[in-house]
């Protein structure tokens, strides 16, 4: 049987491709419309309080308060397709799981591209200055510092403490080769070394996420605004200090363990109380990563270091919000 002319085969293939592309476009349009209808018909607040907290890591009251704050103090807006509240819930679910796939599977009214955009917008809103300064703030007045000191003393018996400090490594995706060495830490993975100061309730008072995992804790501290502020308090003869581990230099405003202390001596007793008090910062890291699983050690943030830092900061804001709402 004779074959059709070559130009006829080409025309037939072109028509077939056009039909298939048209069907793909139709399916995509239909899926978009289906999701839009579902978004309008589903109210995420209808689930039980327990399920809501398990899914989003916040109580409903905390979530409502967060939305009020974001509306008043950030540029986050609803879109024609996604409501304000749904944007925030989408981001919370990602922070809680570290997975777009799981979120898209649970909420079939959202596509992965939409979820990714929501996470980006909400993250930017959470770290905007007015929101960040509302939820993460070092005690600025003597009255506020006295309140922090008194809580530390009543819990641990260590006087003068206005915070515990340490650095925590957060796994990130391998950066580009030109700066990869800045993020490869002593634990043999790529990370951000994030400095945090917390109070006795594991509330984060200060966070610095500017440095890669190769940077030592002491260097980050020496170049931090918190260090300058503590020195200023010392110059004003205020008897307050932070507690840090032996990786930090001993200073009048930063108390570290006494090395080689003989057991039974005052130095040894100091070390015991110091260690029991300072463990609160380790507990803070644990709670932060356990609540917001995108930060946990079995997850790696697959973004640039700059975007990873923003996500970490956003989760710190949410960490404090959760504490405020018990």
Q: Which residue has the higher pLDDT, 124 or 11?
A: 124
Lowest average pLDDT, out of 3-17, 164-178, 248-262, 284-298, goes to 3-17
- Checking if the pLDDT of 41 tops 50, the result is no
pTM: 0.86
Give the angle subtended at the CA of 187 by the CAs of 164 and 120, to the nearest 5°: 70
Amino acid 243: pLDDT: 99
Closest to 115 (Cα-Cα) out of 125, 103, 105, 98: 103
Nearby residues of 227 by Cβ (< 8 Å), 6 or more positions away: 221, 254
| 96-135: pLDDT as tens digits | 999 865 554 455 567 888 889 999 999 999 999 999 999 9
Longest dimension (CA), the chain: 104
Q: How many CB atoms lie within 10 A of CB 317?
A: 23
The band of 253, judged by pLDDT with boundaries at 50, 70 and 90, is very high
| 214-238: pLDDT as tens digits | 999 999 999 999 999 999 999 999 9
Q: Which residue has the higher pLDDT, 108 or 162?
A: 162
- Checking if the pLDDT of 38 tops 50, the result is no
Amino acid 315: pLDDT: 99
Closest to 207 (Cα-Cα) out of 193, 218, 188, 219: 193
Helix (H, G, I), strand (E, B) or coil at 293: helix
- Checking if the pLDDT of 11 tops 70, the result is no
Most confident of 44-48, 63-67, 80-84: 63-67
Give the angle subtended at the CA of 111 by the CAs of 108 and 116, to the nearest 5°: 130
Amino acid 31: pLDDT: 47
Mean pLDDT of the chain: 90
Amino acid 81: pLDDT: 86
- Between the alpha carbon of residue 94 and those of residues 100, 109, 174, 323, the distances in Å are 6, 15, 21, 20
Closest to 316 (Cα-Cα) out of 169, 198, 179, 164: 198
Torsion sign over Cα 247, 251, 255, 256: positive
Q: Are 122 and 128 in contact (CB under 8 A)?
A: no
- Between the alpha carbon of residue 163 and those of residues 64, 203, 233, the distances in Å are 30, 10, 14
User: What mean pLDDT comes out for the span 256-281?
Assistant: 97
User: What mean pLDDT comes out for the span 81-94?
Assistant: 94
Tokens representing 52? 């809501």
Per the DSSP assignment, residues forming a β-bridge with 301 are 172
- Checking if the pLDDT of 1 tops 80, the result is no
Give me the helices (H) in the chain, please. Answer: 6-41, 49-56, 60-73, 84-97, 100-106, 112-126, 129-135, 142-156, 217-222, 225-235, 266-291, 305-324
- Checking if the pLDDT of 325 tops 90, the result is yes
Q: Are 253 and 241 in contact (CB under 8 A)?
A: yes
- Checking if the pLDDT of 65 tops 90, the result is yes
Torsion sign over Cα 222, 228, 232, 234: negative
Helix (H, G, I), strand (E, B) or coil at 96: helix
Q: Which residue has the higher pLDDT, 42 or 283?
A: 283
The band of 312, judged by pLDDT with boundaries at 50, 70 and 90, is very high
Amino acid 46: pLDDT: 87
In the chain, % of residues over pLDDT 90: 78
HSE-up of 129 (CA within 13 Å, CB side)?
0
Amino acid 103: pLDDT: 55
Amino acid 2: pLDDT: 58
């Amino acid at each position: 049987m004779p074959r059709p002319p070559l130009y006829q085969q080409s025309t037939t293939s072109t028509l077939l491709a056009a039909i298939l592309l048209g069907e793909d476009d139709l399916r995509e349009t239909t899926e978009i419309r289906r999701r839009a209808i579902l978004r309008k018909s589903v109210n995420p607040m209808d689930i039980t309080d327990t399920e809501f907290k398990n899914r989003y890591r916040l109580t409903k009251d905390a979530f409502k308060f967060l939305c009020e704050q974001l509306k008043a103090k950030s540029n986050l807006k609803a879109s024609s397709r996604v409501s304000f509240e749904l944007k925030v819930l989408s981001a919370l679910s990602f922070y809680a799981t570290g997975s777009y796939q799981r979120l898209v599977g649970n909420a079939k009214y959202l596509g992965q591209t939409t979820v990714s955009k929501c996470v980006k917008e909400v993250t930017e809103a959470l770290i905007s200055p007015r929101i960040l300064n509302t939820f993460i703030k070092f005690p600025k007045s003597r009255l506020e510092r006295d309140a922090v000191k008194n809580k530390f003393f009543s819990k641990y018996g260590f006087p003068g403490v206005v915070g515990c400090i340490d650095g925590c490594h957060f796994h990130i995706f391998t950066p580009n080769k030109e700066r990869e060495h800045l993020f490869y830490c002593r634990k043999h993975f790529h990370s951000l070394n994030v400095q945090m100061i917390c109070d006795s309730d594991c509330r984060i008072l200060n966070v610095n996420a500017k440095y890669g995992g190769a940077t030592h804790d002491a260097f980050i501290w020496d170049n931090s605004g918190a260090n300058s502020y503590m020195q200023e308090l010392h110059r004003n003869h205020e008897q307050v200090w932070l507690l840090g581990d032996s990786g930090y230099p001993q200073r009048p405003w930063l108390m570290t363990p006494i090395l080689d202390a003989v057991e039974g001596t005052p130095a040894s007793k100091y070390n015991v109380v110091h260690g029991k008090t300072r463990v609160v910062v380790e507990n803070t890291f644990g709670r932060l990563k356990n609540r917001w699983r995108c930060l946990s050690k079995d997850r790696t943030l697959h973004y640039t270091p700059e975007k990873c830092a923003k996500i970490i900061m956003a989760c710190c804001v949410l960490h404090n919000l959760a504490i405020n709402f018990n």
